[in-house]
Structures are given as structure tokens and as C-alpha cells.
Amino acid sequence: MPHAHYHTSAFLGRSYFSVLTLILVDYATVSLISVPPSECKSDAAPAPVCNDASTTRFAFLSESRIVELGTPEMAYEQTNAVVDYYEEFALHREDSTQKILKDLKKVQRQWRTLGVRSGREGKEANEKLRLIEKALQAFQSDESRHTYDESLKQAPKAIKSEKKTDWINESWKYYFVGDNGPAKIAATKARSTENDNPQCYVVSAWVELAEAWGSDAEKRQTYRKAKEFADESYVLDLQKEHVADVNFARGVCFRAIGQHTNAIECFLRALQEANPFTFCDIAWRAAESYTILREYEKAVDICLIALKIGAEIEDNILLHKVYQSCYATLEAKCLHFRYSVDDITQAYEGKRLKESDVVNSLNDFCSMRSHITNQHVPPHMMPKLSGFIEAHIGRLELIEQRITAIKNAPSDELANTDHLKPGEPPSVNILLWSLGIAALIGIAAYSSGDNTLYTGLIFPLIGVLGYFTVLQNHDQDTSKYEKACRDARAAQKEARAAQGRARSLGAVEIKVLEDQLREMKMDIEPN
């Protein structure tokens, strides 16, 4: 089957909607090749891809003939020999069966990319895939592995061919399983034996990228070396037979050294020749560079195009990378604050989070929801995108409700009751003086026998009555004041309770949505 070429040279100059239409029309005229993708760790390369996909079908050979098995110098008589899968795929004999299975699936993912190449390289890749299928059966359990190991011990040794070692494939073999030391040595031999082959420098660039470690200065030095190899491959590709591979590698090198504009230019050139699998693998990296450059719309659109083109690719790891890049871009564009459920209230009350931040974030996510809906992404690809956006919208709506509740919550300031506070109670001296005067008047009247003196008692009695009247009024005022104080404290308590409810409004729901979003953005374990 011929493989589709995606002419995206106008990617930068045209609107993404036009480019998207052109790509989809071109893509609809040919049949897609459904091939599971490579391992998609950050800046881990798939094996190179060629433009001709006419050899994607397996070349099943008769069991009686001698066939090539990966490294061109080795051939085996299938009727007698047992293929050493450990050697063939750089597996470690001391590893557990589970680890070997994981490595084999990883290698399978990588070789499936090579399976779309043409000519001898394509046949070798397809033969590798056939062997991997058999190896997966051999290592499907500890029991089957034991049987295979015993047969390997008893089998005759492989018959060596006169062909030269294909050091490019040898380098890829070790690179695929993360054994970068041997991969680097094989790449060096490839450059010495085929120094005019761009693929020697492509694999060398990827190996150097994988070898980057240590301090920032050491990493930069390694990245520069990788870029030198990628540049060499670019210069040597005179016939433009390796456009996707060469520009993919150069783009990743530019990306590693922080030259994202140059990286995007290379990625876009690679996309013109990329098959669906490689298109997705390049697109998520290009999206990350667009995001760093704050070209969010282009980042989202290239992810959407990748999801359309890769709609039939059965590889969760690769597609998850595309989704992740799209998620990161959506948050970079739409989310104007980074506070979690535990910090929202404090940030708002501390004036670090504005209500406008929430409103603008909500509006931007709603706008992107409409945009993505209008791009006609295949229905089975939409749930993850729409789920991510809806989770953000739901979270922002709850945060908005919380802020509104905080604004509308009653004040917890204690009501002023000082105006109700009674004065000092009447002095008891008034009572004592009144009683004393009354006693003196009474004694005087009794002693003198002058009854008229008793009329003088009216004045101290008035004083006594006045004292008790004032005392009663004071007691009433005191009761009113104490009640007002109790009511004020009760209102304050209720206000604080209302504020507490407002500050924690939707806490459970927001936490659930945040956990959901965090899970969606997590890397998935390669199978």
C-alpha cells in the first residue's frame, strides 16, 4: 500500500484551518497504514521511517529456506537452527521473563516504524517483526521461556553469512532497549563504514540525545554533538530520501538546545513526509515547542491534526503523548492561575487570586471547547479531550461559586453594643443617708412628743423609693445589654460559620476534579 505524504509546507504561512483541510483531503485519497508506535519517552526516537510503505505486509517465508534475521551478517537454517532472541534483540539473559516481555514489546513498537520502509531495509524490518512475534510467544511465561532456553542449548549453532554487519541496525538494536553504550559504539562503526549514509548520523544523533546527563554544561555539550550528527545527516541527504528521519532528528536537537523556532521548522519539514505514526510522534514535540513560544493556537491545532491522522493507530503510549501535549497547551493558554483546592481561598483573600482570573480562565476554556468541537476530531478521540476541558470548566465554575459565596458571606465583626451599656448603679449611700435621716426624725419626734415632726419623714422615704426605682431601672438596662451582647456573639459565630462554609464550598468536588485532571496528565506505563 502506498503511504500518504502530507504536504504541510504552508504550515507557518497559512491558517491552520486551511492546512488542516488540505491535509485531510490529501489523506483521504490514500489508505492509512495502521502500525503501533514506538516508545514515547521524552525525546526518545522512533527508528527512522522511509517514505515508501509498499512493503508493510509481512514477508512470510517458507520454513525451508534461509532468511536474513536483522543483522545482515547472520542467517539461519530454519529447519534446524533456533533463533537466539537474546542476541537478536539485545535482551539480557539474567532479566526476569516479565522484564524481557516488556523490552520485547518496546522493541516491537520501534521496529514497526521501520516496517514501512522500502527495499532491503523494509524487508529486514518486517522479518524482525515476524521474529518478535515468535519471541513474544517464547517468553509469554516462565514455563515457555524454560522450554525455549532448553531448545536453544540443544540447537546447532547458527550458520554465519558472508554479508557485512549492518551497523546502523545494530545501533538501533541496542538503542531500542536503552543500552546506549553499545548503541554508540555501533553508531561509530556505522559512520566509519558508511560515512556517506545519512542514516548513520541520524541514529548517532538519537544515541547522543539519549546519553545526555550530568550538569547543564555537560548536557549542552552532548546536545551540540547530537546536533552536529543531525546536521551531517541533513547535508548528506542530497536525494531527499530521508526527509522525515533527518528533519525529525534535527528538530529534536534544536528543541534540546532551546532553539524552538528552528525546531518547529524542522518538524514541519518532517511532517511533509511522515506516515501517520511518525506524524503523531513529531506533532506532540512540535506542540511543546509552540507552547514554549506562546503560540498556543498552533500547538493545539497540530495536536488535533495529529489525532485525526493517527486516529487508527493502535498505540496508547504515542497517542497519550499527543493528548498530554494538548493538555499542557490548553492549560498554558486558558488557565490564568495555578492554585489548588487547598490554596484557593487563602490566595483570594490575600489578593493573589483575582475573581477576573477565574472568569477569564472559564471563558477561555469554553472558547477552546467550541474550537475543538468544530475541528471534527474523530468521535472515539473526543472523550479524552472533552473530558479534560469539562473537568477544568467544572472546577472553575465551583471556584467561581466559592468566591461569590465568600463575597456574600456576612461579616464576622462583633456588633457594637456600647450604646446599650448601662451606667453605674445608684449609690447605696443614698439609701443609707435616707434611712439615717428618717431614723433621726423619728427619734426626735418620739423624744419631743411633737407629732408634727413625723411629717419630715416624707423626704427620706422619697429618697429610699427613688433609690430602689433607679436600681430597678439599672437592672433592666443591664439585662438588655447582656442580651444584646449575647445576640452579637451569636451572630458573630454564625457569620464565621457561614464564612467557613463559603471558604470550603465545593472542596470535595474540586478535589475530585483536580485528581481527575492529574490522572489524565500522568504518563502511562509502557506495556
In a domain, 313, yes or no: no
Helices (H), 293-354: 296-309, 316-334, 344-349
What are the beta bridge partners of residue 160?
74
Query: Which one of 130, 164, 198 terminates a domain?
Result: 164
- Tell me the DSSP string of 389-454: HHHHHHHHHHHHHHHHHHHHSPP-PPPP-GGG---PPPPHHHHHHHHHHHHHHHHHHHHH--GGGG
Same domain, 62 and 147: yes
In a domain, 182, yes or no: yes
Query: Which one of 109, 143, 164 terminates a domain?
Result: 164
- Quick one: which of 161, 154, 205 has its CA closest to 183? 205
Strand 75-77, strand 66-68: pairing: antiparallel
Q: How far apart are CA 418 and CA 485, in angstroms?
A: 9
| CB of 269 closer than 8 Å to CB of 243 | yes
Could you count the other beta carbons within 10 Å of the beta carbon of residue 310? 26
In a domain, 426, yes or no: yes
Query: Which one of 274, 299, 325 terminates a domain?
Result: 274
Q: Which letter does DSSP use for residue 71 in this model?
A: S
pLDDT tens, per residue, the chain with 527 residues:
333 344 343 343 333 333 333 343 343 333 333 333 333 344 554 544 433 333 322 222 222 233 333 443 333 334 456 889 999 899 999 999 999 998 998 888 777 665 555 445 567 777 888 899 999 999 999 999 999 999 988 877 655 556 688 899 899 999 988 899 999 999 999 999 999 999 999 999 999 999 888 888 888 999 999 999 999 999 999 988 888 889 999 999 999 999 999 999 999 999 998 888 889 989 999 999 999 999 999 999 999 999 999 888 877 888 999 999 999 999 999 999 999 999 999 999 999 999 999 999 999 999 999 999 999 899 999 999 999 999 999 999 999 999 999 999 998 888 888 888 888 888 888 888 888 888 888 888 788 877 777 788 888 888 888 888 888 888 898 999 899 899 889 999 999 999 999 999 999 999 999 999 999 999 876 55
In a domain, 63, yes or no: yes
Sequence letter at residue 364: D
Same domain, 115 and 219: no
Number of domains in the chain: 3
Same domain, 194 and 239: yes
In a domain, 326, yes or no: no
Q: CA separation (Å) from 23 to 34, 222, 277, 310, 312?
A: 18, 36, 15, 12, 16
Same domain, 154 and 184: no
CATH number, domain containing residue 234 = 1.25.40
Q: Which helix (H) or strand (E) holds 484?
A: helix 458-503
In a domain, 6, yes or no: no
Same domain, 158 and 232: no
The whole domain housing 448 covers 418-495
In a domain, 459, yes or no: yes
Same domain, 42 and 156: yes
> End-to-end CA distance of the chain, in Å?
28
Instruction: Give the SS3 label for residue 357.
Output: helix
Q: How far apart are CA 53 and CA 2, in angstroms?
A: 5
